Structure 1
Amino acid sequence: MNHIQKLLFITALLTSSMAFGQLTEDPDDRRSQGKDPLRTQTPEGRPLPFGQRLRFGGGINGFRFGNPFSLGVSPVIAYQATEHLIVGVGGTYNYTRYKAYTNTNTTVPYRTLNQYGGRGFLMYEFIPSILPNLYLHGEVESTTINDKFEQPGLPAPATYSLTSPLLGLTYSQPISRRFGVNLTALYNLNYTNSVAASLIYSSPFVLRLSFF
């Protein structure tokens, strides 16, 4: 009896695995019909598993050689909630270092900026029949920056924080069903002339190139 039970269990496991394989490979089959693959369901209307709706990626931002030297990374995890709605979270880290130099008889000292934060965002494809892959984009980003001068007698290290709501548009060029190149243009609704805003954003307009 034990052997029969084991045989039945293995048969059921193989059958369920085959069914799962059929479920997860269907969306891309639409390409052979000249149609874009579905994002959240199979052509038969069955919902895709959670893992197949996830997107992973991010971007490199603030890349600059010379003085200052700057480099940042911004990983992203996004979830295809519906055929036209994407929700996601992301993180940001940016390192900037100014070397000492003299400008108009003024010596600019060594300075290091460490910027880090996180954000949550929504992207909604609002006119897919007219212009597919164009999304309304809204997010809230919280950022902290540590500002440190590295010579004695200068201002003490300071920390600034800013939470900003941003609104704009994202155009996504799909590479596959779960990956694309995204160009985003946002406007910072909380931008002021404060030290924090000028160090973190430098402008109320935010442009990004990302991959997910």
Structure 2
Amino acid sequence: MNYTQKFLFITLLLSSGLAYGQLTEDPEDRRDQGRDPLRTQTPEGRPLPFVQRLRFGGGINGFRFGNPFSIGVSPVIAYQATERMIVGIGGNYTYTRYKGYTNTGATVPLQTYNQYGGRAFVMYEFIPSILPNLYLHGEIENSTVDIKFDQTGQKLSDGLTSPLVGVTYSQPISRRFGVNLTALYNLNYNDNNLARTIYGSPFVLRLSFF
């Protein structure tokens, strides 16, 4: 390869790299200009593609050791609809096991709960100039609980649909990921066995990541 060919080859590489950088430019680059990155636009003002507005994550919920033992997962898919609004859907599954005691003090399986469901939510950043990243939060959650009485083999199933309202504070880690602390109030909470089984109280606290 002579000098002319080498020069053309290096020029081509540099040009390709520059073009690729322009095509993949991220709103995080706005930080170099002293401004926060936009959530739905490129630095040039073009709308971000649908995929780049999506967030994926979730959390672990209902975690308890001992009696009862409980653990749950709650995956989330969220979409940055506007600069201040996030909409999304999520699922949840929680496994809970209760044990009883015999006359000799030994533990035996007593009840097993399988709780599962889904939710749709919307979050709106309502006072960004005063408290950035604080969102009004509303959602509809549907939950079903399957209960098995281990000693008799009897099974029961019931469900509950609940509207929840409250606030979420989101601490961004990157443009498409953050730590979210949510406090909600269940508008459909009744002090009955099913509501106590699913929620425990009308107040719902969550820690999630998306």
Query: Residues of 2 paired with 1:19 and 1:45: CA distance?
Result: 18
Distance 1:100 1:81, change over 3 A: same
Verify the 8 A CA contact 1:24 1:48 in the aligned structure 2: no
Mind listing any 5+ residue stretches in structure 2 that lack a counterpart? 1-14
Q: 1:61-76 alignment to 2 at 5 Å?
A: 61-76=61-76
Partner of 1:183: 181
**RMSD value, Cα:** 2.4
SS of the equivalent of 1:140 reads strand
Query: Residues of 2 paired with 1:19 and 1:38: CA distance?
Result: 22
Query: Residues of 2 paired with 1:110 and 1:50: CA distance?
Result: 48
Query: Residues of 2 paired with 1:45 and 1:170: CA distance?
Result: 28
TM-score by length of 2: 0.86
Which amino acid is the alignment partner of residue 73 of structure 2? V
Query: Residues of 1 paired with 2:178 and 2:130: CA distance?
Result: 19
Partner of 1:95: 95
Query: Residues of 2 paired with 1:164 and 1:102: CA distance?
Result: 38
- C-alpha distance after superposition, 1:99-135 (max 9, x if no partner): 12269x9x99611000000000000000001110000
Deviating more after overlay: 27-36 vs 156-165:
27-36
SS of the equivalent of 1:37 reads coil
Shift of 1:20: 7.6
The answer to whether 1:173 aligns with 2:171 is: yes
Distance 1:41 1:201, change over 3 A: same
Shift of 1:31: 1.6
Verify the 8 A CA contact 2:144 2:157 in the aligned structure 1: yes
Query: Residues of 1 paired with 2:53 and 2:24: CA distance?
Result: 11
Aligned residues: 194
Query: Residues of 2 paired with 1:24 and 1:41: CA distance?
Result: 13
TM-score by length of 1: 0.85
